[in-house]
Structure 1
Amino acid sequence: MAIVSFIGAGPGDKDLITLKGYRVLAAADVVIYAGSLINKALLDYCKEGAELYDSAKMTLDNIVDKMEEATKAGKPVARLQTGDFSIYGSIREQIEEMTKRGIEYECIPGVSSFLGAASSMGVEYTVPEVSQSVVITRMAGRTPVPEKESLQSFAQHQTSMVIFLSVQGIQKVVKQLVDGGYPTSTPAAVIYKATWPEEKVVRGTLADIAEKVHEAGITRTALIMVGNFLGDEYNYSHLYDAAFSTMYRKKSK
């Protein structure tokens, strides 16, 4: 029996799929892709004659039925997911159903949009003595968020934060962050379709980012980034500091 390969498609730029992901996608007989979210230019890597299915138009049962049908026929399946499927990828439910049916699978990680966003902006989430932790979360919506994981509770730490699936409620996001402890002067940015050709970046602070986002007309497919890692304050690490020794280099005298 053939297997199903979950592939992280990367953040948007078609060249940011991993080499392994590309090879498996190019060899697949059946490709089930997240059509409402991935860059469809990735489908150019599929071989001629591959069967293509847009999962945006399918239910969970439809998806798993197609996987079962293909693998039993000896056809390898590529399940092309967004970014890196380990963050808001909805693969757990697919794997649970596949396991019930004895369908074998593998997971090929990709590049998450939160990494693509930082790279596009030339920023680092962990700046020495400014922030050494990153919170990845979302605002409650149709999918609820546990109360102990609310934006307001995370905001107490004032660390670097990346907020998925929430730009449509940017005003509520800002209110919860400020109520939780972030000063209104905290730097913030919203990046629309990071690494895509149509990428758009809006920068500001919690005092004005919501207004700027509305002016830019961004309502979906964007990340909200908050924290002093976006600001002007920074400190150099000890990694390349001549005054510090490492296991590879002795400090300068």
Structure 2
Amino acid sequence: MTVYFIGAGPGAADLLTVRADRLIRHASVVMYAGSIVPESVLESTPEGCELINTARMPLDSIMETIASYHEKGIDVLRLQSGDPSVYSALAEQVRRLTDLGIDYEVVPGVPAFAAAAATLGHELTVPTIGQTVILTRVSGRASAMPEGEDLDTLGKSGATLVIHLAAHDAERVARELEPNYGAECPVAVVAYASRENEQVVRTTVEKLPQDIAAAGITRTAVIIVGKVLSATQFPDSFLYSDDRPRDEHGRTIPCVH
């Protein structure tokens, strides 16, 4: 018996990976959080598949349910929104499965930040403008942020920030960002990326609170902050330069200093 932690992506069913789709089509049991995983992702489950909405289940109850299927030798699919490697509670679930001696496999999915960037039509790493992307969030009910990972500290890097789980706290986000990014730094908010009810708000650090409130966005959104969002004047990457030395196969010849 194996528990499959499947990245269900940002919401659009056609953004599921081929592996995720195959597993879902042959599933016997699917556990999912109905509050964040849309029903469209479940449409390809086979007849007779047991669907368990875990939105209101505490973690111990979820583990007890999984353990009961383990005893019966039945595989369980655990659908996680986005990608399981980011803000999915994967670590605490895996810790419990390991203690129980239950095998698991992680199937990656399209993360929210990638879907948001695609919606915006932006690369998040632009030559000479920004080459670092930080995925973060703010302290909330789920857990506190470790020391040194607050927005003010991270903002000192000047890197592009992708802030998760913070749409409800936009005033605080703007307040902590302004000292390092400035009031006019571009910001993009993407809610429900890839879904029919997708929303996009383009604004600035200073106007973020009022604009996100006007749009009525409070959850299922990422806030992207950085100069890359408005950059138009930057040099081409050397990657495709005619001056870049290549061998007869087109591969780059390393420079020796």
* Contact 2:129-2:231 within 8 A present in 1 as well: no
Runs of 4+ with >6 A deviation: none
* Contact 1:127-1:235 within 8 A present in 2 as well: no
> Could you give the per-residue CA deviations for residues 64-84 of structure 1, whole angstroms, max 9, x where no partner exists?
111111122121110001100
Q: What CA distance in whole angstroms lies between the structure 2 residues aligned with 1:29 and 1:201?
A: 37
Residue type of the alignment partner of 2:26 = A
Partner in structure 1 of residue 10 of structure 2: 11
Partner in structure 1 of residue 176 of structure 2: 176
Question: Percent identity among equivalent residues?
Answer: 39
Residue type of the alignment partner of 1:24 = L
Q: What CA distance in whole angstroms lies between the structure 2 residues aligned with 1:147 and 1:61?
A: 28
Q: What CA distance in whole angstroms lies between the structure 2 residues aligned with 1:204 and 1:129?
A: 23
Q: What CA distance in whole angstroms lies between the structure 2 residues aligned with 1:144 and 1:237?
A: 39
* Contact 1:28-1:75 within 8 A present in 2 as well: no
Q: CA deviation at 1:209?
A: 2.1
Partner in structure 1 of residue 133 of structure 2: 134
Q: What CA distance in whole angstroms lies between the structure 2 residues aligned with 1:105 and 1:3?
A: 5
* Contact 2:178-2:206 within 8 A present in 1 as well: no
Partner in structure 2 of residue 147 of structure 1: 147
Q: What CA distance in whole angstroms lies between the structure 2 residues aligned with 1:56 and 1:91?
A: 15
**Aligned positions, number:** 249
Q: What CA distance in whole angstroms lies between the structure 2 residues aligned with 1:85 and 1:232?
A: 31
Change (3 A) 1:46 1:133: same
Partner in structure 1 of residue 89 of structure 2: 90
> Could you give the per-residue CA deviations for residues 73-129 of structure 1, whole angstroms, max 9, x where no partner exists?
121110001100110010111111111111111111111000000011110111000
Q: What CA distance in whole angstroms lies between the structure 2 residues aligned with 1:54 and 1:246?
A: 54
Q: CA deviation at 1:235?
A: 3.0
Partner in structure 1 of residue 104 of structure 2: 105
Q: What CA distance in whole angstroms lies between the structure 2 residues aligned with 1:132 and 1:168?
A: 28
Partner in structure 2 of residue 159 of structure 1: 159
Q: CA deviation at 1:236?
A: 1.8
> Could you give the per-residue CA deviations for residues 153-186 of structure 1, whole angstroms, max 9, x where no partner exists?
011111111000001010110100113x111111
Partner in structure 1 of residue 23 of structure 2: 24
User: Please, which runs of 5 or more residues in structure 1 have no aligned partner?
Assistant: none
| TM, length-normalised to structure 2 | 0.93
Q: CA deviation at 1:249?
A: 6.0
Q: What CA distance in whole angstroms lies between the structure 2 residues aligned with 1:223 and 1:53?
A: 27
| TM, length-normalised to structure 1 | 0.94
Alignment of 1:231-250 (within 5 A): 231-233=230-232, 234-247=234-247, 248=250
Q: What CA distance in whole angstroms lies between the structure 1 residues aligned with 2:30 and 2:231?
A: 45
Partner in structure 2 of residue 221 of structure 1: 220
